[in-house]
Chain A
């Protein structure tokens, strides 16, 4: 599935290198050529959004993968910030978290998360994330082409 446009840019906010690796692998398994920008804490994610808003040369990511349990600033705060962004407020955001609390799920939806992915305890389950991302990007591409 070759596209005639530049690879997608994905912002991943995740402090656990093990999970970063698994995410990267899940995307690769789907054959997605992506430019994955990884930030390891909430502050870094907020700074990234600041830059995106102030520098016109800076492109918005095509998608954000956001862990809720981030050091220095929570995922919820980052989520709120993105939805308040001047330029990137429409970016699809997939929450990736180990929490199965219905409360977290509900809060994320209320704050404007596009999807919610609970990190499973098995490898195959985790790899499902790749397909979810691909679907989200496909919808975005379709929306862009239209």
Chain B
């Protein structure tokens, strides 16, 4: 429509403009052609003039040369003549050629050609005359006037031609001037006309453009109105054209399909609007057709979005037709019904829950107290069916005397919004059972209802009674115990204490206790010195649930005295392992502790005393050696120097003195060894191989062993935690004893037999045995033999009486034990235990105390 409007407006003006331009062009062409012709003719006229002048000049040159020759007879003057003679015919021909285009001069040119021929002939003849007859004759000929006459004619004719052409040139140039003036006028008039036309045209075009813009604006406005409307409505909208290609989608449709408007436009509908039938789970191929079959609406459909998410939708469609009834497109309107679906499902779920619940549920209309709804459990609990109860009064389910209570309960529920209470209910058969009722008031629209649940608590009641009885028993028992018994919650706060506890802590007796509970009992009870350690242990148990055990002093409220208690508490857990409560029992161990302390003190005193004794023995034996050495040496000196002068009696006296001193010295040395073991020798490494210790001992005893013809068997022996020097002393003493106390005689085929063995004990210790087949020891001496200076055999066996005491000391210092077993006349076995090298010092101490 805009285009047509434009044509109508500018058609006459356009024709007029074209006409003007054509006229101007025609006029210009005519003018231009005339000008072109005039210019060409002018050029030819000018050429003609130039060539005529050149010819005249050549002819003049020829004549001048001839004259020079005639006058001088010098032939050099004939040079210009001859040059001109050669040029003239060419020049004449050129002039004739030019004259073809200047026809007005043709006759004149022919005339001048003959004149020039005559002239040249005259010149030639004159020169011949001069050559043949001399200058006089030539001059005469020249003066004859023939030549001169011809020359004038030539000049006259040439001048006429030149003048005439110049006049023509002038005329032509004036004509051209006039023609140019005409052209200017035409151009001026044409331009003015065109400017006018352009102005008119511009005005017309402006009007058209304005009109068109207004139109476009209107269209855009109505489009935006439509789009805004479609975008802001609560439904998704898709518009297609007649071929089912998408022309428009609104924002909601973009969101639901997952296709942006820009992407979906022009695409086939089923590509973007991907439908799936919900019950069959099948994709719907052509949604429009499917929808039309369903009379334009569809439920049960799932929209499958671009990212494959399914959304339940409700969809409607309509065809768009033009005035003639042709289909021009379709409109699809759909909405996301997820929320409604969920609500429906929830409702369904609640309904199921209500009807299927394992406890009784009911709804009462507070206006008249009738039952609005009950579930099957509630009905069967009372021996009815659901329908039997609906519409009846709720109070009918209660024993008659309790109905007034119900009114009060219902009022409380109404006031507080919720009320929980126990109530006796009546079954159809008249029996009564206890119920726990939880009643809630709620608004359904504008009406108020009471909803409640009801559970039969017969079992619980029975259980509670049993529990009460059990607790009573526990309290009676705990009350009778002399220990401090308590029960606490999971955080350790006391919820129950027995009578003993209450009295001890000063919490009063009987009913008074109640006001202190629950109580965090540790504030003032603990002895300050024990407090930190006790609480650390207790808190650790609280966290881990580990059984708590500690010994602590607790303050007695009566006299403020602290007494020692052995405290024990165990966690009671539920099935999931979580701590429910703590049960504790504290036992007064004051007496045991006091006893143990005294024992410890006595033990320490004894150890100190032993150490002092050992120190004393060391000092004494060492210091006693000195004077004894003097006695011994000087007795020897006396014997050596005066032995000959003394009589036999004196000599034997001296001998006794020397022997006594020597023996005393040996005793002292043994005593010194013993006390050194007792005092320890810290420089020595406290680990040695028993096998090599036995070897060393046997080497030291080799003479004795050989004398005894003894057979000595050594088993495989381990390394033990004893200094090597002591280990050697130990074996040397025991083997030495075994050799020393052999029988005087053995039956044939037998001889002294000594065995040394070791056996590993499960605790890492080694049990050694040194056994012999010697004289044996009487039973009553078996323990005495380890005493110092204990000798069983008087002077009949050499010895100091310290060997076994030393052995005992060595073994005991290592933490072990030594003892002897013997059968008199059969032999003895000395047993002792020593720690293996892998035994730590701590466990050795432990073993020692335990032993």
Contact = CB atoms under 8 A, between A and B. Distances in A.
Given A121-B662, A121-B665, A22 B625 contact: no
A123 interface: yes
B633 A122 contact: yes
Contact of A123 (B628, B636, B665, B683): B636
A98 B637 contact: no
Interface in B566-591: none
Tell which of A102, A103, A120, A122 has the most Cβ of chain B within 10 Å: A122
Contact of A98 (B629, B636, B683): B629
Contacts of A16: 626, 630
Contacts of A99: 622
Contact of A18 (B630, B636, B662, B665): B630
A98 B625 contact: yes
Contacts of A116: none
Tell which of B632, B633, B662 has the most Cβ of chain A within 10 Å: B633
B315 to A, nearest CB: 111
B617 to A, nearest CB: 15
Nearest to B666: A121
B634 A121 contact: no
Interface in A93-128: 98-99, 102-103, 119-123, 126
Interface string B271-282: 000000000000
B727 to A, nearest CB: 17
Nearest to A125: B633
A103 B629 CA distance: 21
B396 to A, nearest CB: 110
B640 interface: yes
A121 B665 CA distance: 8
Contact of A122 (B622, B625, B630, B636): B636
B393 to A, nearest CB: 111
Nearest to A119: B629
Interface string B443-467: 0000000000000000000000000
Given A98-B625, A121-B662, A121-B665, A126 B630 contact: no
B637 A123 contact: yes
Interface string A1-31: 0000000000000001010001000000000
B637 A121 contact: no
Tell which of B625, B629, B634, B662 has the most Cβ of chain A within 10 Å: B629
Contacts of B634: 18
Given A121-B662, A121-B665, A123-B640, A22 B633 contact: yes
Contacts of B630: 16, 18
Nearest to B628: A121
A18 B627 CA distance: 10
A121 B625 CA distance: 9
Given A121-B662, A121-B665, A126 B633 contact: yes
Interface in B632-673: 632-634, 636-637, 640, 661-662, 665
A118 B632 CA distance: 16
Tell which of A16, A18, A119 has the most Cβ of chain B within 10 Å: A18
Contacts of B665: 121
Contacts of B622: 99
Contacts of A98: 625-626, 629
Nearest to B658: A122
Interface in B599-641: 622, 625-626, 628-630, 632-634, 636-637, 640
Contacts of B662: 121
B459 to A, nearest CB: 87
A22 B626 CA distance: 14
A22 B633 CA distance: 9
A121 B60 CA distance: 185
B661 to A, nearest CB: 8
A126 B635 CA distance: 14
A107 to B, nearest CB: 12
A98 to B, nearest CB: 6
Nearest to A22: B633
B626 A121 contact: no
Nearest to A123: B636
A95 B277 CA distance: 119
Contacts of A126: 633
Contacts of B640: 123
A71 B662 CA distance: 27
Tell which of A98, A120, A121, A122 has the most Cβ of chain B within 10 Å: A121
Nearest to B635: A123
Contacts of A18: 630, 633-634
Interface string A72-109: 00000000000000000000000000110011000000
A16 B622 CA distance: 16
Nearest to B672: A100
B735 to A, nearest CB: 24
Nearest to B636: A123
A122 B626 contact: no
B613 to A, nearest CB: 20
A129 to B, nearest CB: 12
Contacts of A119: 629
Contacts of B661: 121
A98 B634 CA distance: 16
A22 B637 CA distance: 10
A120 to B, nearest CB: 8
A120 B625 CA distance: 10
Nearest to A103: B683
A59 to B, nearest CB: 32
A18 B665 CA distance: 18
Nearest to B662: A121
Nearest to A124: B636
A16 B631 CA distance: 13
Interface in B507-560: none
A64 B629 CA distance: 23
A28 B633 CA distance: 17
A16 B627 CA distance: 10
Contacts of A120: 629
Contacts of A22: 633
A103 B618 CA distance: 15
B45 to A, nearest CB: 154
Contacts of A102: 683
Tell which of B628, B636, B662 has the most Cβ of chain A within 10 Å: B636
Contacts of B632: 121-122
A119 B632 CA distance: 12
A98 B626 CA distance: 7
Contacts of B629: 98, 119-121
Nearest to A69: B626
B335 to A, nearest CB: 107
A119 B626 CA distance: 9
B660 to A, nearest CB: 13
Interface in A26-74: none
A99 B630 CA distance: 15
B522 to A, nearest CB: 56
A120 B629 CA distance: 8
A80 B636 CA distance: 36
A99 B622 CA distance: 8
28 contacts: A16-B626, A16-B630, A18-B630, A18-B633, A18-B634, A22-B633, A98-B626, A98-B629, A99-B622, A102-B683, A103-B683, A119-B629, A120-B629, A121-B625, A121-B628, A121-B629, A121-B632, A121-B633, A121-B661, A121-B662, A121-B665, A122-B632, A122-B633, A122-B636, A123-B633, A123-B636, A123-B640, A126-B633
- Ranked nearest first, the 3 interchain pairs of A and B with the lowest CB-CB distance are A123-B636, A18-B630, A121-B629
Given A18-B633, A121-B661, A123-B633, 18 more contacts: A16-B626, A16-B630, A18-B630, A18-B634, A22-B633, A98-B625, A98-B626, A98-B629, A99-B622, A102-B683, A103-B683, A121-B628, A121-B629, A122-B632, A122-B633, A122-B636, A123-B636, A126-B633
